[in-house]
Structure 1
Amino acid sequence: MSTLPNKKIEKILVEALLLTKDGVGLFDLGDRLIFCNDLFGELFGLSASEALNKTFTELCFGCFNTNKGANIEADDFETWISNALLKRRSSNYRTFETDTVEGKHFIVTEQIAQEDFLYVYITDITEKKKNELRLKLMSQELEELATTDYLTGIRNRRYFYQMARAEFNRSKRKSTTLSLLILDLDKFKLINDNYGHKAGDIILQTVTQTISKLLRNYDIFARIGGEEFAILLPSTDAKLAYIIAERVRKSVELIEVTFEDTILTITTSIGMVESSEEITSFDQLVQTADKYLNQVKKQGRNKVLFS
């Protein structure tokens, strides 16, 4: 209890509410705004004096009509306001988030006071939202770095095995066919030994760019070793996979890189495998493609070999 007269207490409370950094508003039984401070008016794109004596519907229609204040994402205002009014006073207390056209975010708390008056309290959480977005973007950037090959810009071994294994399992569940290509650049070590790693890096980047242009947007292409690459071809049988593999092989064979007045060329050996009932795991699929790749190397390289 207070020893101050009630009128004095009311005056102090009203002044405090008007000065608070949060927004406060009070709606009467007819849903007309009878008290608010400037931050509360900002939710509707208005000052406190402009917002007073307007109904909730009028305030929202002003936002919809002028594209200011509360972000009302609707083509039909009547339907939107009908749904909004159903939620108001649906419980004694509720809280939710909303945003404004100007890019601000608020937590809104509605509480029914005596005689069905509605007390609304809003807290500006714009900075919190910005920080959350920064953390999300940072997390995405870190994930991108962790799954991308730094030299070529394509996916790395970690990403490939994670995504390709998931695609293999999905293929098994749906009884669809996929194919795997494992590529190795022939005698790549000689380029590094004779011309240096800078030349080798340029070859790797050029090969990557060349192959990327030949693939479909849903194929999974990654560098899984020093000069070793893998391509997973979803929903692709051996006949089509061989056409793609030959296209890749021939395109790599045509690459010419000028390095310090020398034209460098490269070829690739490709081991290929189509999924089947006999292959029960992704690791087995990789082992089979590797087996054919090793056979290609023994047979003279620059070929595609599959079962």
Structure 2
Amino acid sequence: MDEIFRKLLHLCNDTPVLAAAYDGFDRLRYANQAFRSAYFLEADETPLWSDLMRRNFETGRGTVIRAGDFDAWLISTQSRRGKMGFRAFETDLVDGRWLWMTETVQSDGWMLCIANDITKLRAHGRTVRQDLDKAIKASNTDELTGVANRRFVTARMGEMLQRMQTEGRAGCVCVLDLDNLKYINDRYGHQAGDVILGDFAVRIQREVRRSDCFGRVGGEEFVVVLPNTPTAAAELIVARMLAAIRNSRPLSQSADFGYSFSAGIAAAQRGDTIDDVLARADTALYSAKMAGRNRIHLAA
């Protein structure tokens, strides 16, 4: 078995096809020579994907990132990256090469990335494909915050419930709602409200695992989908989110201004529809609001 494993490693390292594996926290755990060469990685480096993208963006190499604001691009991309079992797309490198990239994600969050160089293939349809990719991204993105929108989050909930039926894997849905946003809008203006929504999206996205899905579903309401996560673990994750928001001071005109959110958590149950689990999470959220806000309640 060890000999077979060594042979596989040699084959992977010798192929011109790019191959890499990321763990559930999006840290690079394996990359063959072709991948390391394309993304300027030393043999012993195992960076987070976000750190790799930032470094290459700042040095003008690796993946072409067409964005003036890297952090906004990163938050938007991370809200969708690794959330589906499989996806395929085109991407281009600064050196002029075009790659056909596939991402295969396991239930524990580990992801295998395979990329083939398609630079020499007929490119007359490339613009059409790029426009289609942009349209799909726009249809799954909340315009104000840049994170996933209701359509994308709902699809991930459906996939989680389906896996529960077939594999028996536990999962939770968390509804997060900003506290007193109407009062904030009335006192500081709607622009300040938009700043708070953006700050909230950035800070919460930093707290989710790559296998989780976070998005805005409307107004001041957001949803986090936590596959393969029991209720106790979900509560700990949301507690970290509460702490991150309590420490935020996003308004330049009021340095002492802070804000909070309330959360309702519901565990998925066999036979649940999306509406079922959302209704229980919403009921728990209402209980959190009635108990004084800035807290978490679990569905009964």
TM-score by length of 2: 0.58
- The AA in structure 1 aligned to 2:287 is Q
User: What is the SS of the residue equivalent to 2:225?
Assistant: strand
User: What's the CA shift string for 1:179-220, capped at 9, x where partnerless?
Assistant: 110000000111111111111111111111111111101100
Aligned CA distance change for structure 1 residues 127 and 250 (closer, same or farther; 3 Å): closer
Tell whether 2:264 aligns with 1:271: yes
Aligned equivalents of 1:136, 1:296: Cα separation in 2: 46
Residue 281 (structure 2) aligns with: 289
- The AA in structure 2 aligned to 1:219 is D
Q: Is the 8 A contact 1:183 1:268 kept in 2?
A: yes
User: What is the SS of the residue equivalent to 1:302?
Assistant: coil
- The AA in structure 2 aligned to 1:297 is K
Residue 198 (structure 2) aligns with: 205
Aligned equivalents of 2:207, 2:195: Cα separation in 1: 19
User: What is the SS of the residue equivalent to 1:243?
Assistant: helix
Aligned equivalents of 1:73, 1:300: Cα separation in 2: 59
Shift of 1:298: 1.3
Aligned equivalents of 1:170, 1:182: Cα separation in 2: 21
Residue 65 (structure 1) aligns with: none
Shift of 1:258: 2.9
User: What's the CA shift string for 1:1-54, capped at 9, x where partnerless?
Assistant: xxxxxxxxxxxxxxxxxxxxxxxxxxxxxxxxxxxxxxxxxxxxxxxxxxxxxx
Aligned CA distance change for structure 1 residues 289 and 275 (closer, same or farther; 3 Å): same
Aligned equivalents of 1:145, 1:260: Cα separation in 2: 32
Percent of residue pairs bearing the same amino acid type = 28
**Rg: which structure is higher?**
1
Shift of 1:127: 11
User: What's the CA shift string for 1:145-199, capped at 9, x where partnerless?
Assistant: 1110111110001111122212221222110100110000000111111111111
Task: Please show how residues 22-171 of structure 1 align to structure 2 within 5 Å.
Answer: 129-171=122-164
Task: Please show how residues 214-229 of structure 1 align to structure 2 within 5 Å.
Answer: 214-229=207-222
- Please identify, of 247-256 and 218-227, the stretch whose mean Cα deviation from structure 2 is larger: 247-256
Shift of 1:131: 2.6
Task: Please show how residues 168-187 of structure 1 align to structure 2 within 5 Å.
Answer: 168-187=161-180
Shift of 1:264: 2.4
Shift of 1:128: 9.3
User: What is the SS of the residue equivalent to 1:273?
Assistant: strand
Give aligned pairs, total. Answer: 186
User: What is the SS of the residue equivalent to 1:271?
Assistant: strand
Q: Is the 8 A contact 1:257 1:263 kept in 2?
A: no
Residue 89 (structure 2) aligns with: none
Shift of 1:261: 4.2
Aligned CA distance change for structure 1 residues 304 and 73 (closer, same or farther; 3 Å): closer
Q: Is the 8 A contact 2:264 2:288 kept in 1?
A: yes
- The AA in structure 2 aligned to 1:229 is F
Residue 236 (structure 2) aligns with: 243
User: What is the SS of the residue equivalent to 2:175?
Assistant: strand
Aligned equivalents of 2:238, 2:134: Cα separation in 1: 32
